[in-house]
Chains A and B, each alone.
Chain A
Amino acid sequence: NAGVTQTPKFRILKIGQSMTLQCAQDMNHNYMYWYRQDPGMGLKLIYYSVGAGITDKGEVPNGYNVSRSTTEDFPLRLELAAPSQTSVYFCASSYQTRGGEAFFGQGTRLTVV
């Protein structure tokens, strides 16, 4: 049982480049989340989804886009990378949000230079 799988684990981008962070879960969870974690800080919610075809903004959505075409996949798109987007990105999934355990991937460490 793989749980939540994120790819890539590490990436260096130049300013202005674009990339997609992949996230897949095999637990048939409806809820999926993208967070970013800056050094020494907690997690800030970027986008979330309550099911296929439904997404909504979190606390810090600017500069990012998401899509949810299937229950399993929830990719995060950075269109024009900026140094402020240097961070560790975590994807998570949950069976339910109210009291439901969130399972996290291993994270993607992104550096924008």
Chain B
Amino acid sequence: TQLLEQSPQFLSIQEGENLTVYCNSSSVFSSLQWYRQEPGEGPVLLVTVVTGGEVKKLKRLTFQFGDARKDSSLHITAAQPGDTGLYLCAGGQGGSEKLVFGKGTKLTVNP
């Protein structure tokens, strides 16, 4: 059973389009992180959200943490080919030291 469910699993869009990917769980998380992974590399942190309802922006990327701290979304505006990669959400459950990851969303932005 996957603790963190990500959707969609694959997404292929044209340059300039907008997109949203989701990370959902039935469990409450003390924080959620979003990572981006390129082929042959380890994941790299994009953002951490901690407070329910929190919204963080990173250039064209907007991250939101659900009010109940069970879900999060990543919205990319005007996607560019450089945004291509595997986007992973990760969470550390309250009271647990485990850092678990979702299966990821593989994004391809075509020129």
Which partner residue on chain A sits nearest B96 by CB separation? A97
CB <8 Å contact, A102 and B103: no
Query: Which of A43, A56, A106 is B41 in contact with, Cβ under 8 Å?
Result: A106
For the residues of B in contact with A, the DSSP-based class is strand
Q: Which of A13-21, A34-42, A68-76 contacts B (4 or more CB under 8 A)?
A: A34-42
Indicate if A45 sits at the interface (CB-CB under 8 A): yes
- Report how many A-B pairs have Cβ atoms within 8 Å: 71
CB <8 Å contact, A58 and B98: yes
In chain A between 28 and 77, which residues have their CB closer than 8 angstroms to a CB of chain B?
Answer: 31, 33, 35, 40-45, 48, 50, 56, 58-59
CB <8 Å contact, B42 and A45: no
Which partner residue on chain B sits nearest A31 by CB separation? B97
CB <8 Å contact, B42 and A42: no
Give 11 CB contacts A-B under 8 Å.
A35-B101, A43-B43, A43-B90, A44-B101, A45-B98, A50-B97, A94-B99, A98-B94, A102-B45, A106-B40, A106-B42
Contacts from A to B (Cβ < 8 Å): 4, 31, 33, 35, 40-45, 48, 50, 56, 58-59, 90, 92, 94, 97-102, 104-107
